Homo-oligomer: A and B are copies of this chain.
Amino acid sequence: MIYPPSSAPAGDWLGDAAAVALLTFDLDAEAPVLAAGEHYAADLSAMSHQAYGPRVGVPRILDLLGAYGLKATFFVPGVTAERWPRTVERVLAAGHEVALHGYSHRPLPDMSRDEQARDLERCLGALADLGVEPEGYRAPYWRLTRETLYLLPTCGILYDSSLMDDDRPYRLHLGGEQIAELPVHWSLDDWEQYAFLPEPDIGERIENPRDVARLWTEELDAMRKTNSLCVLTCHPFLSGRPSRLRAIEDFVQFAGECTDVRFSTASELAKLVL
């Protein structure tokens, strides 16, 4: 058996909404470039491409969220917390949730069980140094393993957000423990739309932000009929650019006009699921 047993949410996660939307931001910064090879540190352009996220993208995203009175969830790799502590503190100060995104942003399936345990421990430590006790986890590159999944409840983690076999939340039963799963999907992620960097190769797409907003809002609209959970995932180094911020704003405005879409943080939703 590959998957652990799962079951429907224990609580009424939907309430009187037709769909629930989470705004999540993966604060990767330089982590994916360094995970691809330490020597990429010598490529100032590639490094600066990533540094745009914490330097410029995050402050703009915080302004946007503030203007709409929304709380979001930021998944932060340990290396980013260490490199950009002031940025993480600004996120916290604005009242947003900060959660785990691994330490090194290396893919878990490439690590042994021990390496995975160490990676988890180190990212917990890096967030603890900033006073954060995270309640959630998201695997780097959305590549979760059974090994790390079973470690999560032992660290006080309430939810994971890395699986794709549903578009509604559910519970995962891990031995005597359970956690909530808040499923994601590639089509609601900005990486597949905007990531362009040839060396290291992190993608080669530059879609028009208006088209991206249309992709996202049409999925949210359809999810109102299927009563689904819409987990939007953005990366400040990508979506912090001026016209891309507008795509997020389009999404937020569309959701607001629907009147039957509820925004939530991942942590709040996980507690309803459990």
Interface residues of A (CB under 8 A from B): 2-3, 39, 41-49, 51-52, 55-56, 60, 107, 109, 139, 141-146, 149, 162-167, 183, 185-187, 192-194, 196-199, 204, 206, 208-211, 214-215, 218-219, 221-223, 225-226, 228, 241-243, 245-246
Contact = CB atoms under 8 A, between A and B. Distances in A.
Contacts of A143: 43, 45-46, 199
Contact of A48 (B49, B55, B165, B186): B165
A66 to B, nearest CB: 16
A226 B187 CA distance: 28
- Number of copies of this chain that the complex holds: 4
A210 B206 contact: no
A172 to B, nearest CB: 10
A142 B3 contact: no
Task: Determine chain A's interface SS by DSSP, over half rule.
Answer: helix
A161 to B, nearest CB: 11
A20 B145 CA distance: 45
A209 B219 CA distance: 9
Nearest to A60: B226
Nearest to A55: B165
Contacts of A222: 242-243, 245-246
Contacts of A208: 211, 214-215, 218
